[in-house]
Amino acid sequence: MTNHDVELLAIGAGPANLALAVALEELGADGLAESSLLIERGPTVEWQRGLLLPWTKSQVAFAKDLVTLRNPRSKFTFLNYLRSVGRLDDFINMGSFTPYRVEVSGYLQWVSESLRKVQLRLGCDCTSVEPVRDSAGRLTGWLTRLADGTEISSRYLVVGAGRDPYVPPELSHLPADRLIHSTRYRSRIATLDKDQPHRIAVVGAAQSAAEMFRATQHDLPNSDVSWVMRSIGLRAYDTNKFTNELYYPSYIDKFFEALPEGKKQILQEMHLTNYSGVESDLLQELYTGLYLDRLSGVDRQRLVPMTDITGARADGDEIVLELTDRKTGGVDELRRDLVFLGTGFVREMPGLIRGLGAAIGLDRIEVNRQYRLDLGEPSDAACYLQGVNEATHGIADSLLSVLGNRAADIAQDILAHRAAKRVNGVHRRTAVSVPADGAVSA
């Protein structure tokens, strides 16, 4: 068993923690960056690796990268990435604010390779985190265990590993090799025979289901695909420049300070701006494809709306789905070889965070405005949660829109907490100045 000691451990090398690593390197953090470690369970740094398809695009403007809204002069901007790889002219000539997903993924990998102070280690699968206490019972740090037996001790912990994939209870008992969540689409599709006439069910009515439905036309062109959804049909994201203002980093303060009833209304009315919808250009492509199939008499792809999956079982080499029509109440069976899940993610806190909360003894998981976990006790340590705070920080929390500013909030809070010196058993906080450009000095 290998043991490592760092001051700050960040779990997950996605956009959230990469933005934090950049902030630590740029904010003059008095050695904190050099004593920080970023771990990632994957073998590479990729964005949305399960659906990293060549034609998929980001729905977020390129300027909402890891750093531009915090520090547009940074060397870590998306535009500087394009310049460094010789594609800046081409991107500008495209005339689009939204880059392709593979470009965003390439940018994140470039950032990870450009870090000079924060360490990055790949292939580190985190299995548990628990609090560490001194002889007096005071919480002093965190012990993180990896699948290979490695243990990492840290004073500060930042969890940015994303939410757990959601599998509907009716399907959760099916054989794992027949049930493919969107997070595993690309890796699983690579193992299938492209020329076989697979029978596929796609489940869900939002963007990930739509992307898998379209992708099967190329990846498995001889397949028969039924797209099952509870809704009456597909809907476009409800986006316009007015609702988009609620994705500004500056809106976080307004949301955080809102009354519970106000938060509830905002989240309800903003739901279709990010969930249960499909990007409008993709909708047009899907409809055109189905129209041309009908025109030519082809019937290998179909939508099955207003339908619940009320049961499922394995029958030999087949998966049998029990479908209940929400209009008539009629029940039918659909026999498939594979089930693709575009069902999103579990809305409650990820299992890793819930396990940590239980180990600390917390009744519920709550964070303050700076994303610091409320430990319910004085502590020499601190833990921060990224991308799972929609209920307190607004609908943009799981998206790219607020990355740079959130990273600065967390970095500055860590530096302020770090500046509290323990003298004769008493914590004394030293002054921390935060200049207008976001740099921090203590």
Same domain, 322 and 357: no
Question: Does the pLDDT of residue 437 top 50, yes or no?
Answer: no
Same domain, 195 and 322: yes
The alpha-helical segments, DSSP class H, found in 162-279 are: 185-189, 207-219, 241-244, 251-257, 260-270
Question: Does the pLDDT of residue 428 top 60, yes or no?
Answer: no
pLDDT (tens digit per residue) in 283-316: 999 999 999 999 999 999 999 999 999 999 999 9
**Alpha-carbon gap, residue 412 to 404, rounded angstroms:** 12
Phi, psi of 154 (to 5 degrees): -150, 155
Question: Does the pLDDT of residue 183 top 60, yes or no?
Answer: yes
Question: Does the pLDDT of residue 272 top 70, yes or no?
Answer: yes
Structure token pair of residue 214: 């379209």
Same domain, 354 and 303: no
User: Residue 3's pLDDT band (boundaries 50, 70, 90)?
Assistant: confident
Q: What is the rounded average pLDDT of the residues 194-219?
A: 96
Q: Is residue 174 part of a domain?
A: no
Read off the CATH number of the domain in which 215 is found: 3.50.50.60
Residue type (1 letter), 27: L
Q: What is the rounded average pLDDT of the residues 332-357?
A: 95
Return the residue matching tokens 């990998």. Answer: 109
Predicted confidence at residue 24, as pLDDT, reads 96
Q: Is residue 442 part of a domain?
A: no
Instruction: Measure the N-to-C terminal CA separation of the chain; round to a whole number of Å.
Output: 37
Q: What is the rounded average pLDDT of the residues 266-284?
A: 95
Lowest-confidence pick of 21-30, 117-126, 373-382, 403-412:
21-30
Same domain, 285 and 262: no
Q: Is residue 400 part of a domain?
A: yes
Same domain, 220 and 312: yes
**Alpha-carbon gap, residue 81 to 105, rounded angstroms:** 11
> 3-state DSSP call for residue 269?
helix
Q: Is residue 421 part of a domain?
A: yes
Same domain, 337 and 424: no
Residue type (1 letter), 115: L
Q: Is residue 307 part of a domain?
A: yes
Same domain, 327 and 184: yes
Question: Does the pLDDT of residue 435 top 50, yes or no?
Answer: no
Question: Does the pLDDT of residue 327 top 70, yes or no?
Answer: yes
Q: Do the Cβ atoms of 56 and 210 come closer than 8 Å?
A: no
**Alpha-carbon gap, residue 381 to 375, rounded angstroms:** 10
pLDDT (tens digit per residue) in 46-55: 999 999 999 9
User: Residue 38's pLDDT band (boundaries 50, 70, 90)?
Assistant: very high
**Alpha-carbon gap, residue 152 to 146, rounded angstroms:** 8
User: Residue 430's pLDDT band (boundaries 50, 70, 90)?
Assistant: very low
Return the residue matching tokens 């610091």. Answer: 372
Give me the numbers of helices (H) and strands (E) for the chain, helices first please.
Answer: 13, 19
pLDDT (tens digit per residue) in 128-141: 999 999 999 999 99
Q: How many domains does the chain have?
A: 3
Rg over CA atoms, the chain: 24
Q: Do the Cβ atoms of 436 and 416 come closer than 8 Å?
A: no
Question: Does the pLDDT of residue 343 top 90, yes or no?
Answer: yes
Q: Is residue 434 part of a domain?
A: no
Q: Is residue 436 part of a domain?
A: no
Predicted confidence at residue 1, as pLDDT, reads 54
**Can you give the residue range of the structural domain that contains 251?**
241-269
Provide the CA 407 distance to its chain's centre, in angstroms: 15
Question: Does the pLDDT of residue 10 top 90, yes or no?
Answer: yes
Q: What mean pLDDT value characterizes the chain?
A: 92
pTM for the full predicted model: 0.91
Q: What is the rounded average pLDDT of the residues 86-92?
A: 97
Same domain, 257 and 331: no
Provide the CA 11 distance to its chain's centre, in angstroms: 13
Question: Does the pLDDT of residue 424 top 90, yes or no?
Answer: no
CA angle 346, 212, 241 (to 5 degrees): 70
User: Residue 440's pLDDT band (boundaries 50, 70, 90)?
Assistant: very low
Point out which residues pair with 309 in neighbouring strands.
323
Q: What is the rounded average pLDDT of the residues 118-124?
A: 96
Long-range Cβ contact pairs of 328-336 (< 8 A, separation 24 or more): 334/201, 334/226, 334/228, 334/304, 335/199, 336/199, 336/200, 336/201, 336/226
User: Residue 29's pLDDT band (boundaries 50, 70, 90)?
Assistant: low
Question: Does the pLDDT of residue 193 top 50, yes or no?
Answer: yes
Same domain, 90 and 227: no
Same domain, 34 and 146: yes
Out of 318, 341, 364, pick the residue that ends a domain: 341
Return the residue matching tokens 């964005």. Answer: 47
**Alpha-carbon gap, residue 406 to 386, rounded angstroms:** 8
Out of 300, 325, 341, pick the residue that ends a domain: 341
**Alpha-carbon gap, residue 49 to 187, rounded angstroms:** 9
Predicted confidence at residue 420, as pLDDT, reads 78
Question: Does the pLDDT of residue 407 top 70, yes or no?
Answer: yes
Same domain, 232 and 367: no
Return the residue matching tokens 């929390």. Answer: 397
Of 75, 99, 96, 79, residue with least CA distance to 88: 79
Predicted confidence at residue 442, as pLDDT, reads 30
Q: Is residue 440 part of a domain?
A: no
Predicted confidence at residue 28, as pLDDT, reads 74
Q: What share of the chain is helix, strand, coil (3-state, %, to 5)?
A: 35, 25, 40
Question: Does the pLDDT of residue 58 top 80, yes or no?
Answer: yes
Predicted confidence at residue 404, as pLDDT, reads 96
Residues of the chain above pLDDT 90, percent: 91
The pairing of beta strand 151-154 with beta strand 139-146: antiparallel
Out of 324, 341, 358, pick the residue that ends a domain: 341
Structure token pair of residue 425: 């058993």
Same domain, 120 and 213: no
